[in-house]
Amino acid sequence: MAKELKVEVPDIGEFADVDVVEILVKPGDQVNAEDSLLTLETDKATMEIPSPAAGKVKEILTKVGDKVSKGTVIAVLEAEETANAPASEPKPAETPAQAAKQE
């Protein structure tokens, strides 16, 4: 089952109110972890914001020309469950005494 994940702008240094210059994905796109979602530009640098997880882009909450800062929610992903995530609640490990009782 997919989990909804809000994607925020990570720590981008001392920059605030950074211009969104390009949106690289659209709703419905499938992305992998670390795929670029959008491009930000300051007077000193251009940086791409990566996806924190694999999944399907559900919604883009920003547009070209918007200004964003650290913590701004920029998108919503339907994140895929990871292969090593438990499908259900993990069972407590058996102690040697419990294993011996079952024999």
pLDDT at 82: 58
- The answer to pTM > 0.75 is no
Q: What is the pLDDT of residues 43-89, one digit of tens each?
A: 888 999 999 999 999 999 999 999 999 999 999 999 987 554 444 33
Angle, alpha carbons 68-72-73 (nearest 5°): 125
As to burial, measured by CB atoms within 10 angstroms (0-12 exposed, 13-18 middle, 19+ buried), residue 65 is exposed
Query: Exposure string (b/e) for 2-39, b if CB count within 10 Å is 16 or more?
Result: eeebebbbeebeebeebebeebebeeebebeeeeebbb
